[in-house]
Structure 1
């Protein structure tokens, strides 16, 4: 059995690492790793391969940059050339998550009559303004097999007409990666440089266009958080596209500490030791939940409701009153305890390969 695994953006790398590790344990299972190049900055890409022990990809399609349409087209063209020129019989293409690469490679594979397995299938935010939501829906509409992170995702797929025998509730590969790297987390230089102390600072991440592209909205959110947290240090590793907007806002505050993008091991060291996380990222809410760290999400909806229903996450959206209420709860130490969602146990990749060996035999 030969599998083609697609990775293109930062979240993908964390999801494919345990799958590759598991495949290497199996006799008779081979794989090729395709890096689409969607994230082409070294700090957003190569560093994650190095830290997570992901082998060099068989090919890098170099499809970074450009508009979403241009990037989708470049990935499709590059992936089609790779597949059609391959001398291997490909049993299945594995796509993960909901980025442009996920959608583009799924379309190519299906048009070439190759089966597709979607890891993290069935999740929905209900927000059609998010490009990721379009990617999820289209990918799920044509994939063959679905590996889900929650029973809610199973229900979403069932409602869209996917038969139960094609859906496998396996857990979360992001958590496989987190749990296997807890002992390797690395203290970043910013820890000593800024005199950070355990549970005495907050980690902030923002990159969603709805939050950062409008400078006035972005500034309102940042200043609200700064002012309400008073003297608490706020560590803000800034995504490249966010930094362009942030540089124009001239926000000056002693407790806002701007950082370069951090690698996986350094970033999760900060999360693990933080008082709380404030974010608009779905993936970080999963990691915060498993680490038991209070999390405020600056979005009106989430495709990961289990982080709210079971975990430590709370949705605030951009409602200033709600953000203030949640910040007050955080400062008073009255945050909910939270628990670990079902099957988020570090064995998801094992279950994925078990099921693929069964359906593809």
Structure 2
């Protein structure tokens, strides 16, 4: 009988982090993939990642809405509670042998609590990392709930073990997101990229561009508008190069960041900036790889960016204290400092690839380990 592995995907970013694991589980003769898709993956304003997931050949057994409208601290807590309720029902129906959850978000916490209280072994990806946001505390809480840990770096493995976790169940196979970078052609086809719709000045994909992706900082709730405005004004100071701006994730404060982007857009209609909601994981990897500089606070700039050697200006304290490669230049929320660092990164160009977060094949190695685990 196949071992049932239930993977919960509840954000566009986490899909990219777990896709190669899902594929390896799906292809394994010893494992059965049970997929639950929920939260912002179902929402149009966050790009409906569920459409990408289905197009990739995955069939969700449950699609669960549990996002409370508002993107405030209160709604984030309530969404976590709703997620626990809804996921508990789904797990009871599906009766998985293991539940897989990723990283550090509120949806991840809901998955972890529901599985733990049902006595279902919990598999956690990307534990043991440090960041300067509430995610830091959430990630470590999930580590203590989890039974099995697939970390993304040696430093993370050491941290998880130092937290008292059994070394027998701590595995460093790297980050599955790196698998995508190794498995595809990372060049951009301008003709193919025209299919993506957005607003602003259309991108000439054959010419250099800067990629910006800035999420709200939950521990600095209420300051997202001015924070993202400073970054956008910094982009404006960098002349004669087009920019791509992506919309933030669903964390508390997302509305403030989105408002800042819309306000800037309406007052700078002639700026060479194009605004996108979302890309599938492979095309996002291509967009990231071909950017001459990345600006903002996305963890992808640290993880995939380090592997690709992409020049990055990391803004603010959302990723404070996080393990990173030499491609990162840190800035505060001040437009002149941000723009100065962008210019320095443009002058520097590409960095040497840093493989601290893996070299590919994490998904297949994780799936192989799942077949052998007895809990």
Match of 1:328 among 343, 350, 362: 343
Asked if residue 108 in structure 1 is aligned to residue 118 in structure 2, the reply is no
2:245 corresponds to which residue? 236
Match of 2:77 among 69, 92, 99: 69
Map 1:52-67; keep pairs closer than 5 Å. Answer: 53-66=56-69, 67=75
1:258 corresponds to which residue? 274
Match of 1:78 among 78, 81, 86: 86
Comparing 295-304 and 218-227, the one that deviates more:
295-304
1:159 corresponds to which residue? 162
Map 1:220-231; keep pairs closer than 5 Å. Answer: 220-227=230-237, 229-231=238-240
Q: Which has the higher contact order (CA 8 A, sep 6+)?
A: 2
Aligned length: 351
Comparing 135-144 and 290-299, the one that deviates more:
290-299
Offset at residue 50 of structure 1 (A): 4.1
| Contact 1:8-1:35 at 8 Å conserved across structures | yes
- Structure 1: gaps spanning 5 or more residues: none
Q: Alpha carbons of 1:102 and 1:40: their partners in 2 closer, same or farther (altered >3 Å)?
A: same
**What per-residue deviation string (whole Å, max 9, x for no partner) do you get for residues 183-211 of structure 1?**
69654229997462556221111222449
Map 1:135-154; keep pairs closer than 5 Å. Answer: 135-154=138-157
Map 1:2-21; keep pairs closer than 5 Å. Answer: 2-21=4-23
Cα distance between partner residues in 2 of 1:185 and 1:327: 22
Offset at residue 54 of structure 1 (A): 4.4
**What per-residue deviation string (whole Å, max 9, x for no partner) do you get for residues 118-138 of structure 1?**
01111111x2xx232232021
Offset at residue 320 of structure 1 (A): 5.2
Offset at residue 19 of structure 1 (A): 1.1
Look up the SS of the partner of 2:144 in the other structure: helix
Cα distance between partner residues in 1 of 2:226 and 2:40: 29
Normalization by structure 2: what TM-score?
0.83
Q: Alpha carbons of 1:82 and 1:190: their partners in 2 closer, same or farther (altered >3 Å)?
A: closer
| Contact 1:175-1:287 at 8 Å conserved across structures | yes
Cα distance between partner residues in 2 of 1:219 and 1:212: 13
2:251 corresponds to which residue? none
Match of 2:352 among 326, 333, 338: 338
1:40 corresponds to which residue? 42
Comparing 188-197 and 138-147, the one that deviates more:
188-197
Normalization by structure 1: what TM-score?
0.86
CA RMSD for the aligned pairs?
A: 2.8
Q: Alpha carbons of 1:211 and 1:259: their partners in 2 closer, same or farther (altered >3 Å)?
A: farther
Cα distance between partner residues in 2 of 1:247 and 1:306: 32
Offset at residue 148 of structure 1 (A): 0.7
| Contact 1:201-1:234 at 8 Å conserved across structures | yes
Look up the SS of the partner of 1:27 in the other structure: coil
- Structure 2: gaps spanning 5 or more residues: 70-74, 249-253
Match of 1:296 among 294, 305, 313: 313
2:297 corresponds to which residue? 280
Asked if residue 355 in structure 1 is aligned to residue 359 in structure 2, the reply is no
| Contact 1:40-1:64 at 8 Å conserved across structures | no
**What per-residue deviation string (whole Å, max 9, x for no partner) do you get for residues 62-89 of structure 1?**
1123311221111111111112233x4x
Q: Alpha carbons of 1:157 and 1:322: their partners in 2 closer, same or farther (altered >3 Å)?
A: farther
Q: Alpha carbons of 1:148 and 1:336: their partners in 2 closer, same or farther (altered >3 Å)?
A: same
Q: Alpha carbons of 1:11 and 1:301: their partners in 2 closer, same or farther (altered >3 Å)?
A: closer
**What per-residue deviation string (whole Å, max 9, x for no partner) do you get for residues 219-246 of structure 1?**
223212321x122222212337433332
Match of 2:325 among 288, 308, 322: 308
Look up the SS of the partner of 1:308 in the other structure: coil
Cα distance between partner residues in 1 of 2:224 and 2:288: 27
Offset at residue 317 of structure 1 (A): 3.5
